Amino acid sequence: MNLKSLAIVVLVLSLSACKANQGALDDYIDDIERQADRDVVALMPSVTLNVRSYKAHQMREPFVLPQEAIVSTPSQHNKDCWQPAKTEKAGELERYPLAKLRLKGVMSRNDKVSALVQTPNGQLIKVNAGQFIGVNNGKVTKVTAEYVQINEPLPDGLGCWNQRKVKLALK
């Protein structure tokens, strides 16, 4: 069999495989429209809003707290709760938030463990227990072979402070 007769056989077979839909086009359109009508879901009823007009001199300003909320807010200098001691920011690591610092290594000498912490600009700084770290006056409480534990004071928004423990771990 030569190439020309092979091409004719392939052409005849491919054309005989093509069979168009023999049904009427109008019947097909009607069938699709019936399916579309059946699939429509009823809409939820619309919500009615209670509209009030704003009278500027009779009501409080909309962006000012109500008087009851202002009176019930405790003073910012509540002496009954814990307040962190004021410290001077002297260390290099006290300029960065803890989320930006990375623990890169741990060293030990004579049973004293130190850590290497990397700043966002790539500088490595040696850290020991008792040092301050982070912008919120966090204090390194423990240095182990796997992590550095930090006690960080955070304001609660009402004038008091809470302590949270943060770990910088080796990755």
In 3-state terms, what secondary structure has residue 36? Answer: helix
N-to-C CA span, the chain:
69
Of the CA atoms within 13 Å of residue 5, those in its CB half-sphere come to: 2
Distances (CA, A) of 69 to 65, 72, 73: 6, 5, 6
> Model's pTM, two decimal places?
0.52
Reported CATH class of domain 92-169: mainly beta
Surface-to-core class of residue 150, CB atoms within 10 Å of its CB (0-12 exposed, 13-18 middle, 19+ buried): buried
Residue boundaries of the structural domains of the chain: 92-169
Question: pLDDT truncated to tens, each residue of the chain (171 aa)?
Answer: 688 888 888 877 777 655 566 668 888 888 888 777 666 677 888 888 888 777 767 777 777 777 666 555 555 555 678 777 777 777 888 888 888 999 999 998 888 899 999 999 999 999 999 999 988 888 999 999 899 999 998 887 777 888 889 999 987
